[in-house]
């Protein structure tokens, strides 16, 4: 999820490349009139072996039930997909359909690469079936440029025995979280583990604290300082390891599994591994400050504006959203639905942990900040790193980051 300088350069080039190639939103609004089988190219980043059975079943299902369509799928590593789309905008070789990380809507949404689905969605009449956060994550400049593929968010995992032994109740606000983390810290065990790595992964985990403080990126100088101060105090008291500045979310889960952390902030994708744990655990909502908030993760379906088969591609997207198709697909991936009307179906209907995450989706906020979000995200990551490593105070780091963030947001 990192946003490097090279990647941002490619994203900036995408707009110019798209314009040079004439890839505007009005391009290819209809299929070319071919009456035979249409081959749709499809790109995604689900490369791991455990994803293939579910994806292959979905594609076979589409080919069997959407008339006259064949899917030609290509996968890329997670960090490469956006870059390949940007390169494709310059070379003129783009897919018809892609599944992209929802945060990529910031860069892709402003590049004129994505087909405008607004009219089709209105005719479809299903928009109100989606949770607010996932649906808003597909809206750019008043247009619907994607359909949620799946959703996830962050919550707080707790080692049940550790908290009961310490007579600590699940924390519901920042004060209780700080107190619980301090009381649960012992020896080489920290009370809390979270990811503060200098990538989008760390920003994904930081933003809930900013929102819970009652702020947003445009108030980072003040509310960002509040969130940074809270985390800095946890490190200062020894409740949170300063090594979290190098931890991925997988690293955080490993420490929780090894019982070197009594609490961890993480997502539902960790549940399959945690079900093999040698101890009992539970999931609760993230503790709140002024507000309750969590960060939205997941993927979106998009159609490229350059496609010669936008109508057929839309048929495919619409088909994937049918409950009889979507539920088994999400179950096979271990994902949560972005649709409210599926809350009582699938494994998430009976699994208490998944149920908790699903209950938090109405609070989950998308990272929808415009085409220069990558610059703002980097500023947030740098501020958190500076504070948690002791190289800057929360107020100074927040002011420095705010100047960069304001510049990035002002370039929408």
The average pLDDT across 26-55 equals 77
Residue 411 tokens read as 């370039």
Q: DSSP label at 39? A: E
pLDDT recorded at residue 223:
98
Burial of 296 (0-12, 13-18, 19+ CB in 10 A): buried
Q: Would you place residue 216 in the very low, low, confident or very high pLDDT band (cuts 50, 70, 90)?
A: very high
Could you give the CA distance from residue 61 to residue 36 in angstroms, rounded to a whole number? Answer: 19
Report the SS3 class of residue 15.
helix
Q: Find, among 111, 28, 23, 40, the residue nearest to 320 by Cα.
A: 40
* pLDDT tens column, 376-387: 999 999 999 999
Q: What is the CA radius of gyration of the chain?
A: 22
pLDDT above 90 for 9: no
Contacts of residue 73, defined as CB under 8 A and 6 or more positions apart, other chains included, come to 41, 42, 43, 44, 55, 59
Other CB atoms within 10 A of residue 353 CB: 18
Q: Would you place residue 127 in the very low, low, confident or very high pLDDT band (cuts 50, 70, 90)?
A: very high
Contacts of residue 208, defined as CB under 8 A and 6 or more positions apart, other chains included, come to 154, 286, 293, 294, 295
pLDDT above 70 for 137: yes
Residue 275 tokens read as 């079900």
Task: Please calculate the CA angle 57-41-76 and round it to the nearest 5 degrees.
Answer: 80
How much is the pTM?
A: 0.87
Could you give the CA distance from residue 228 to residue 235 in angstroms, rounded to a whole number? Answer: 11
pLDDT recorded at residue 12:
39
pLDDT recorded at residue 110:
81
Other CB atoms within 10 A of residue 65 CB: 11
Question: Which residues are bridge partners to 246 per DSSP?
Answer: none
Contact 14, 109 (CB under 8 A): no
DSSP element (H, E) containing 190: strand 190-193
pLDDT recorded at residue 226:
98
Contacts of residue 224, defined as CB under 8 A and 6 or more positions apart, other chains included, come to 210, 215, 380, 383, 398, 401, 402
Could you give the CA distance from residue 288 to residue 361 in angstroms, rounded to a whole number? Answer: 15
pLDDT recorded at residue 41:
98
* pLDDT tens column, 358-368: 999 999 999 99
Could you give the CA distance from residue 255 to residue 16 in angstroms, rounded to a whole number? Answer: 45
How many Cα atoms sit within 13 Å of 86 on the Cβ side?
23
- DSSP assignment string, 143-162: EE--EEEEEE--EEEEEHHH
Helices 225-236 and 200-212, interaxial angle, to 10°? 110
How many helices (DSSP H) and strands (DSSP E) are in the chain? 17, 13
- Going from the C-alpha of 59 to that of each of 85, 142, 148, 219, 400, the distances in angstroms are 21, 31, 17, 44, 48
Contacts of residue 357, defined as CB under 8 A and 6 or more positions apart, other chains included, come to 152, 153, 155, 267, 268, 283, 336, 348
- 10 vs 226, residue with greater confidence: 226
């Amino acid at each position: 999820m990192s946003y490097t300088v090279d990647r941002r350069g490619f994203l900036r080039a995408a707009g110019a490349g798209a314009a040079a190639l004439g890839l505007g939103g009005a391009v290819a609004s209809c299929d070319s009139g071919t009456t035979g089988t249409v081959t749709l190219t499809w790109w995604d980043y689900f490369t791991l072996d455990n994803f293939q059975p579910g994806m292959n079943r979905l594609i076979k299902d589409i080919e069997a039930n959407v008339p006259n369509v064949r899917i030609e799928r290509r996968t890329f590593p997670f960090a490469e997909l956006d870059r390949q789309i940007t390169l494709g905008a310059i070379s003129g070789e783009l897919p018809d359909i892609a599944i992209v990380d929802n945060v990529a809507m910031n860069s892709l949404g402003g590049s004129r690469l994505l087909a405008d689905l607004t009219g089709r969605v209105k005719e479809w009449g299903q928009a109100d079936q989606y949770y607010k956060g996932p649906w808003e994550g597909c809206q750019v400049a008043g247009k619907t440029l994607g359909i949620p593929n799946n959703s996830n968010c962050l919550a707080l995992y707790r080692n049940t025995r550790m908290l009961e032994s310490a007579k600590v109740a699940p924390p519901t606000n920042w004060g209780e979280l700080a107190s619980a983390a301090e009381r649960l810290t012992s020896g080489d065990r920290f009370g809390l583990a979270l990811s503060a790595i200098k990538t989008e992964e760390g920003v994904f985990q930081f933003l809930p604290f900013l929102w819970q403080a009652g702020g947003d990126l445009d108030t980072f100088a003040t509310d960002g300082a509040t969130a940074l101060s809270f985390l800095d105090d946890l490190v200062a008291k020894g409740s949170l390891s300063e090594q979290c500045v190098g931890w991925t979310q997988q690293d955080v889960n490993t420490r929780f599994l090894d019982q070197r952390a009594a609490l961890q902030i993480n997502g539902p994708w960790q549940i399959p591994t945690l079900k093999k744990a040698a101890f009992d655990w539970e999931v609760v909502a993230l503790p709140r400050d002024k507000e309750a908030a969590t960060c939205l993760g997941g993927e979106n379906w998009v159609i490229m504006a350059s496609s010669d088969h936008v109508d057929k591609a839309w048929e495919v997207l619409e088909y994937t959203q049918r409950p009889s198709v979507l539920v088994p697909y999400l179950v096979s991936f271990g994902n949560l639905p972005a649709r409210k009307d599926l809350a009582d179906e699938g494994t998430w209907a009976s699994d208490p942990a998944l149920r908790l995450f699903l209950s938090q989706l109405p609070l989950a906020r998308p990272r929808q900040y415009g085409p220069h979000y990558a610059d703002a995200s980097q500023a947030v990551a740098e501020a958190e790193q500076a504070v948690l490593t002791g190289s800057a105070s929360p107020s100074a780091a927040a002011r420095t980051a705010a100047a960069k963030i304001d510049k990035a947001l002002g370039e929408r």
